Amino acid sequence: MATKRVMVLTGGGDCPGLNAVIRGIVKRASLEKDWEVIGCIESFNGVLREPTEIVVLDEKSVAGLLVEGGTILGTTNKGGPFAWPIKNHDGTWTTVDRSDEMIRKLQYMGVDAVINIGGDGSQRISLALSQKGLNIVGVPKTIDNDLSLTDYTFGFQTAVQICTEAIDKLVTTAASHNRVFILEVMGRDAGWIALHSAIAGGADVCLIPEIPYDIEKVKEKIEARYTNRRGFCNIVIAEGAKPIGGEVVGKASTEVGYQHIRLGGVAEKLAADLKNIGVEHDIRYTLLGHLQRGGIPTAYDRILATEFGVRAFEFVKEGRFGEMVAYRHPEIIGVPLAEAVSKPNLVTPDNRLLHTAKGLGIVFGD
Amino acid sequence: MATKRVMVLTGGGDCPGLNAVIRGIVKRASLEKDWEVIGCIESFNGVLREPTEIVVLDEKSVAGLLVEGGTILGTTNKGGPFAWPIKNHDGTWTTVDRSDEMIRKLQYMGVDAVINIGGDGSQRISLALSQKGLNIVGVPKTIDNDLSLTDYTFGFQTAVQICTEAIDKLVTTAASHNRVFILEVMGRDAGWIALHSAIAGGADVCLIPEIPYDIEKVKEKIEARYTNRRGFCNIVIAEGAKPIGGEVVGKASTEVGYQHIRLGGVAEKLAADLKNIGVEHDIRYTLLGHLQRGGIPTAYDRILATEFGVRAFEFVKEGRFGEMVAYRHPEIIGVPLAEAVSKPNLVTPDNRLLHTAKGLGIVFGD
Amino acid sequence: MATKRVMVLTGGGDCPGLNAVIRGIVKRASLEKDWEVIGCIESFNGVLREPTEIVVLDEKSVAGLLVEGGTILGTTNKGGPFAWPIKNHDGTWTTVDRSDEMIRKLQYMGVDAVINIGGDGSQRISLALSQKGLNIVGVPKTIDNDLSLTDYTFGFQTAVQICTEAIDKLVTTAASHNRVFILEVMGRDAGWIALHSAIAGGADVCLIPEIPYDIEKVKEKIEARYTNRRGFCNIVIAEGAKPIGGEVVGKASTEVGYQHIRLGGVAEKLAADLKNIGVEHDIRYTLLGHLQRGGIPTAYDRILATEFGVRAFEFVKEGRFGEMVAYRHPEIIGVPLAEAVSKPNLVTPDNRLLHTAKGLGIVFGD
Amino acid sequence: MATKRVMVLTGGGDCPGLNAVIRGIVKRASLEKDWEVIGCIESFNGVLREPTEIVVLDEKSVAGLLVEGGTILGTTNKGGPFAWPIKNHDGTWTTVDRSDEMIRKLQYMGVDAVINIGGDGSQRISLALSQKGLNIVGVPKTIDNDLSLTDYTFGFQTAVQICTEAIDKLVTTAASHNRVFILEVMGRDAGWIALHSAIAGGADVCLIPEIPYDIEKVKEKIEARYTNRRGFCNIVIAEGAKPIGGEVVGKASTEVGYQHIRLGGVAEKLAADLKNIGVEHDIRYTLLGHLQRGGIPTAYDRILATEFGVRAFEFVKEGRFGEMVAYRHPEIIGVPLAEAVSKPNLVTPDNRLLHTAKGLGIVFGD
């Protein structure tokens, strides 16, 4: 009978591969006689709520999970141990710190360790709980691949694959109708998805947050692809891209602990701007939105997620708490949570992919 | 050496399978010693323009076409023999009838027959040209499947498959986040794509143009799928759906002979309306837009398109002009062009699919 | 509380869409207040075995089933009420008729009706049980589409799609290496999968059981596609195809009530035969085997399976026992079980698809 | 007008991404005013043959190539400059060294540099030609990922994805029928494809060439997955896997410079061996064969291939001859051809993936 218990939870936006991480943890733990895995529903909220929402995770409960998007544990951006929402008498809301209470409750529940699968915000919570003495291991999650301490995260390749297939779909329509097509993809701060999918899909222009774009150069490239009004041009734009001297549109509005994703900002604006400066071709835009984060993970992401899960359990077993698993080619390593949350991973001027994109003539600027 | 010449052209919006029709015509003609196939670029405009834009289509030029979306001949909604745009001296535009001139030019070019692949608008032109004596055969094209004289048209199953896979992608995100997801799909007048993909994707609500929706019943269904704020709900809405007593939003604006597709009308409005009547769950919407008409045709559509192509050539060979090929299960038949353009194919109250949808509890109303 | 009970079961080889039928039955039944659905494990064996293996099927148990291949109820070709295997004292096996006992047991269990999803063999059992007074409704299942009383069955389009995508994969290798590729697909008696996928995949030769092939004509076609040893040729062959005057190879061996699928017979033999008559090009063959019956059903099959499920429950509700649901375009109808099991659906000389295949030059013979 | 000329060619077995490399070279070269790209048909044979088979490669000729498998230049394992086959008077064959003649001919044709895309055998030829003074740059190609000087090669992830999807297809059939399924995948010497796809597909057993397997342990694992004859087990086996003390079956036979791929060796043998030692469950096996190397490259492979192409042209421009481009994360680097051909990349005991596989309990042995 199991004498030790590890609790798993997922936080933040969903991402293909979350279930594969959970499965990896459970599969690895099942090789040990004395460990039990339980899952907490909707990030830490399953522990904070009454009645408590906890599920036992055994091999049967993770069967078939490799191909499933989303997370069987549910996820949320709201609540959490440090900012639990409380309604005041006057109907307004405030938040309270319930972290100490939660740590005591986990002790009471016999939870020896926690594996927290989540993004930057989740790992800040991991760090704070770790500093309070909780045995916690982090697993990084960011579909945008914007964490600097891991080469790649699961979900990213799946998003790139989905965006690439979208370009494949648009290109024949573009060619048949002599159109300019603008595809808006995820990437508020980091242009990785745009850069990868533009190269993979053979787009003609790629606009990313890191390099403000010169709209006249975009026009120039478009016109160079038309002869006597015949031709087409595919543009991939990250949602956080902006013109030189311009602002990001469609910026995320924020409620208490909650992030809205606004659709349609940049592609629509770019289409209008191109019309305004005299591009006469038929211009259409398409937003992938949530389609980018759903569906069956690619083999690549299933493997990476499984590795993260297996290794996260091993960290727990080895007592390596306060660390986050990370992929630093060719190894899966552990990085201190304190470092993990510090700096983002953006496209830098010397990046290899950027070099390739410039070599294809689809990224302009220095 | 070929002594007879058939000219092929594609008109209207692009549709998966157009190239397969062209390939079918060429493959079938290649079994005959005395026939040559040529293609006219951008509907009839390739003949009307100077210099003329015509390509010879042989087996080599159609190699690999089964998997390609779009049309190698290009397509357009602008121009045509009966409404050729002419710029007046004052800068305004007018249109002229160049049909007689075009028929003479085709004779001069040695064109014995024409196969016109296109939608309702294109077949009206086919009919008018046929009445003027041109040897013409029609091939129906409508991704919405809204032509009543053929059971199915190519491209439709591909669009349904794409929409279904989109629902597959959204459902895991919806479940993980306890969200309401609204997916807007094609279907301005006919709800076929919405109805098929809602059943195939397992959506919880399906809203189509033929049955104005009661938003209170939509709310009721949503709430029935939540217990204690936990649950999710997937809604598929056709772009032409409207509330009872309401208007279609996002209506197509029209320029001279040209149709704009406006994105985002109905899904966005439905989300706002649901919020307004008190639905408190997180609601998101997604528009598939042009992604629905791109990409590799499904096997079903490749077969149907090939059959249309093979049969269209055989109609030409047999002198069955003034007819449109059509699929009336289990046969490919010919219908007079005069009848072909008359009435649309809408979802009727006694429809089998509608019966099924009601049996699943996803379509309400009588 | 439910007062009536319908039992569902699946028999024979698995087929994409089985789970969608089960889901359709449950979804439809959930609209009725007084019906409960239960599932019997591994065809009728779950009732015949001790302890009995029965599961309650509610909306929760069918969530997510549309995208899942196989059957959650399990399936088998062994056993059954009329031929239950019994080990004799001397170690040999015999079978006994347990049908009367089973019908009494179902009464005892409060089962008001049975829906039997299965192929020809399963429906013979349905008929025999119906004749003994059991309230039973059949749902046809045959991935080969070889049942004459229904236009199509679920699973077939998925198999065609998989075979078509296999041809798509092989064609680029064939072209790059100047090879002849032979793809063996399912179809022991009926060539439907071969015929459909050969047209959809653009194969150059299609060999089906209904038309014994002249190997010299195959060679002729191959050579016609090569110029100066440069070229390629894709051949699709049904597992039941045979040369003129020849025998079917790889014939199914049979144990007691059990069918083995032997791989590799016809493609391997055709490759050898072509070598023997002097084809000097590099020849390779590929067998799809079980890959053809697995995976996510296409939208088409999910819809058809859902319709069958919804209608089967309605037949139960309406007391239409002794019937099998069937798709006779444009309706879902009921046919008497007695007729359902009588005659197979083969490719006939006047078939429309065959006409198209001949028009493409990929089927030879009269 | 172009004053410098680079010749591109592809050798060995085809691989998804070959066309993307060619496109990358052409796209990058098109940014330079003074370079022209030409392609040589079927490895070096296009130059060696009379008449010479050379094509000009411009942006138009590489349009749409990202999604195409195979190679537009054709490929072969036969012939080549160092072993050109000559028929003797007595009908036997011999080979002659035509390398000096070929180098002279390339000079005469105005070829300033050559980019040779191919595997180990091709790069040995590159090295030998380089040592004779030819300006040559290598691009590595191995679908098995068995080259030690590059972290990954294009085509590998596509093969892994295809194998993973095959497991996805088989698992539902296995579960529905309580079967053992054996999937044979590529990997004669290196188990990378098996190891990756077994983890990604959630297989239960993974057998690779580097670790001879103990068949009793395989049996043990199978039996552990069954309870009362209910259960299933998926086994992935590389074609080069062998039992402890046993031999590789289905070994490649070799003609002059030519390698046959024998199908079906190891999976069939494993099935028989398992039966022999008393496994009574229903066992089936499936061979993916050529399906693994066809089809549309994944986004990952399209990017890597494009990077190789862009960089290979840049090496030519920079005069970095005698080098092979390689991916050494996070950079694309150049390695001397002399080193490139030296040692294979096998799964070593300390490998990260192997560690994960053992943590999942699917690889046994030390």
CATH number of the domain encompassing residue C274: 3.40.50.460
Cα gap C7→C36, rounded to integer Å: 9
| DSSP state string for C74-117 | ---SS--TTSEEEE-TTS-EEEE--HHHHHHHHHHTT--EEEEE
Q: Which two tokens stand for residue D278?
A: 């008393």
Using alpha carbons only, give the angle B345, B350, B352 rounded to the nearest 5 degrees: 85
pLDDT tens digits, residue range D17-69? 999 999 999 999 999 999 999 999 999 999 999 899 999 999 999 999 999 99
Cα gap A291→A40, rounded to integer Å: 26
Cα gap C232→A142, rounded to integer Å: 46
Helix, strand or coil, per DSSP, at residue D37: strand
pLDDT for D260 beyond 60:
no
**Cβ <8 Å between C330 and B24:** no
First to last CA, chain A: 62
From the candidates A290, A292, A296, which should be mutated to test the interface with B, based on the most B CB atoms within 10 A? A290
Do C105 and C167 fall into the same domain?
no
Rounded mean pLDDT, A353-365:
94
Give the residue on B whose Cα is nearest the Cα of C162. B299
User: What pLDDT shows up at residue B340?
Assistant: 84
| DSSP state string for A299-318 | HHHHHHHHHHHHHHHHHHHH
Of chain B, the percentage scoring pLDDT greater than 70 comes to: 95
Contacting residues of B for A69, CB less than 8 Å apart: 169, 172-173
Cα gap B324→B334, rounded to integer Å: 5
Evaluate whether residue D270 is within a structural domain.
Answer: yes
Cα gap B143→B238, rounded to integer Å: 13
Residue with tokens 């809205």: A260
Of chain C, the percentage scoring pLDDT greater than 90 comes to: 86
Q: Known catalytic residue: A112?
A: no
First to last CA, chain B: 62
Bridge partners (DSSP) listed for residue B243: B213
Give the residue on C whose Cα is nearest the Cα of B202. C66
Cα gap D2→D11, rounded to integer Å: 26
Give CA A311 to chain center in angstroms.
20
Do A53 and A170 fall into the same domain?
no
Confidence of residue D109 (pLDDT cuts 50, 70, 90): very high
Of the candidates A169, A237, A181, the residue with the CA atom closest to the CA atom of residue A208: A237
The answer to whether A22 and A154 are in contact (CB under 8 A) is: no
Of the candidates A347, A354, A318, A346, the residue with the CA atom closest to the CA atom of residue A334: A318
CA dihedral angle for residue B44, residue B48, residue B50, residue B51, rounded to 10 degrees: 30
Please name the chains neighbouring A, where neighbouring means 3+ C-beta pairs under 8 angstroms: B, D
Of B285, B287, B291, the CB nearest to A169: B291
Phi and psi, residue A288, nearest 5°: -85, -30
Distances (CA, A) of C70 to B199, D162, D190, D228: 19, 20, 33, 20
Do C268 and C312 fall into the same domain?
no
Number of compact structural domains in chain B: 2
Cα gap B24→B6, rounded to integer Å: 13
CATH number of the domain encompassing residue B322: 3.40.50.450
DSSP E strand stretches across A205-278:
205-207, 226-227, 230-231, 233-238, 254-255, 258-259
Helix, strand or coil, per DSSP, at residue A121: helix
Written as one letter, the residue type at B150 is T
**Cβ <8 Å between B31 and C299:** no
* Mean predicted lDDT score pLDDT of chain A: 93
Alpha helices (H) in chain B, listed in sequence order: 18-29, 45-48, 99-108, 120-131, 156-177, 192-201, 215-224, 265-276, 299-318, 337-340, 352-359
Rounded mean pLDDT, D332-346:
90
Q: Which two tokens stand for residue C43?
A: 């065809």
Which of B58, B97, B144, B204 is the catalytic position?
Answer: B144
Cα gap B164→B171, rounded to integer Å: 11
Contacting residues of A for B75, CB less than 8 Å apart: 176-177
Pairing label, strands D323-328, D331-336: antiparallel
User: What pLDDT shows up at residue A271?
Assistant: 95
Residue with tokens 């044709």: D109
Q: Report the 3 state secondary structure along A159-208.
A: HHHHHHHHHHHHHHHHHHHCEEEEEEECCCCCCHHHHHHHHHHCCCEEEC
Do A323 and A261 fall into the same domain?
no
Give the residue on D whose Cα is nearest the Cα of A328. D329
Q: Is B53 exposed, middle or buried (0-12, 13-18, 19+ CB in 10 A)?
A: middle
Evaluate whether residue C348 is within a structural domain.
Answer: no
Do D130 and D191 fall into the same domain?
no
Do D119 and D241 fall into the same domain?
no
Confidence of residue B217 (pLDDT cuts 50, 70, 90): very high
Which of C14, C34, C144, C168 is the catalytic position?
Answer: C144
pLDDT in 10s for each residue of chain C, 366 residues: 678 999 999 999 999 999 999 999 999 999 999 999 999 999 999 999 989 999 999 999 999 999 999 999 999 988 899 999 999 999 999 999 999 999 999 999 999 999 999 999 999 999 999 999 999 999 999 999 998 889 999 999 999 999 999 999 999 999 999 999 999 999 999 999 999 999 999 999 999 999 999 999 999 999 999 998 899 999 999 999 999 988 877 544 433 333 344 445 899 999 999 999 999 999 999 989 899 999 899 999 999 999 999 999 999 999 999 999 999 999 999 999 999 877 789 999 999 999 999 999 999 876
pLDDT tens digits, residue range A189-220? 999 999 999 999 999 999 999 999 999 999 99
**Cβ <8 Å between A299 and D360:** no
User: What pLDDT shows up at residue D255?
Assistant: 35
Do C104 and C245 fall into the same domain?
no
Evaluate whether residue C125 is within a structural domain.
Answer: yes
User: What pLDDT shows up at residue A246?
Assistant: 86
User: What pLDDT shows up at residue B1?
Assistant: 63
Evaluate whether residue C355 is within a structural domain.
Answer: no
**Cβ <8 Å between C164 and B361:** no
Distances (CA, A) of C142 to C149, C340, D5: 12, 13, 59
Of A13, A76, A170, the CB nearest to B294: A170
Of the candidates D254, D253, D259, D258, the residue with the CA atom closest to the CA atom of residue D85: D258
pLDDT tens digits, residue range C73-126? 999 988 899 999 999 999 999 999 999 999 999 999 999 999 999 999 999 999
The answer to whether D156 and D145 are in contact (CB under 8 A) is: yes
Please name the chains neighbouring C, where neighbouring means 3+ C-beta pairs under 8 angstroms: B, D
Helix, strand or coil, per DSSP, at residue B114: strand
| DSSP state string for B30-64 | TTSSSEEEEEESTTTHHHHSSS--EEEE-TTTTTT
Evaluate whether residue A363 is within a structural domain.
Answer: no
- Of B163 and D251, the one with more pLDDT: B163
Taking every pair of Cα atoms in chain A, the longest distance, rounded to a whole number of angstroms, is: 77
Residue with tokens 């059981």: C209
Do C311 and C188 fall into the same domain?
no
Do A124 and A26 fall into the same domain?
yes
Evaluate whether residue D134 is within a structural domain.
Answer: yes
Phi and psi, residue C156, nearest 5°: -65, -50
- Spatial CB neighbours of C342, under 8 Å, sequence gap ≥ 6: C148
Do C95 and C167 fall into the same domain?
no
Whole-model pTM: value is 0.95
**Cβ <8 Å between A294 and B170:** yes
Domain boundary among D261, D293, D325: D293
Using alpha carbons only, give the angle C164, C169, C172 rounded to the nearest 5 degrees: 125
Q: Which two tokens stand for residue B120?
A: 């309702």
pLDDT tens digits, residue range D261-289? 444 589 999 999 999 999 999 999 998 98
Of the candidates A238, A150, A198, A135, the residue with the CA atom closest to the CA atom of residue A353: A198
| DSSP state string for C294-329 | -SPPPHHHHHHHHHHHHHHHHHHHHT-TTEEEEEET
* Mean predicted lDDT score pLDDT of chain B: 93
ipTM comes to 0.94
User: What pLDDT shows up at residue C247?
Assistant: 80
Do D13 and D113 fall into the same domain?
yes
Of C169, C175, C290, the CB nearest to D291: C169
pLDDT for B342 beyond 90:
no
pLDDT tens digits, residue range A119-148? 999 999 999 999 999 999 999 999 999 988
Do B260 and B278 fall into the same domain?
yes
User: What pLDDT shows up at residue A264?
Assistant: 55
How many CA atoms are closer than 13 Å to the CA of B216, on its beta-carbon side?
1
pLDDT for A324 beyond 80:
yes
Phi and psi, residue B171, nearest 5°: -65, -35
Of the candidates B117, B182, B129, the residue with the CA atom closest to the CA atom of residue B153: B117
Of the candidates C152, C150, C148, C136, the residue with the CA atom closest to the CA atom of residue C9: C136
Written as one letter, the residue type at B68 is E
Q: What range does the domain containing B33 cover?
A: 4-154+297-340
pLDDT for A39 beyond 90:
yes
Evaluate whether residue A27 is within a structural domain.
Answer: yes
Evaluate whether residue C187 is within a structural domain.
Answer: yes
Of the candidates A65, A67, A64, the residue with the CA atom closest to the CA atom of residue A8: A65
Domain boundary among D228, D259, D293: D293
Cα gap A358→D91, rounded to integer Å: 55
Helix, strand or coil, per DSSP, at residue D97: coil
Peptide bond into D330 cis (omega under 30): yes
From the candidates A173, A235, A280, which should be mutated to test the interface with B, based on the most B CB atoms within 10 A? A173
- Residues A54, A58, A61, A63, CA torsion sign: positive
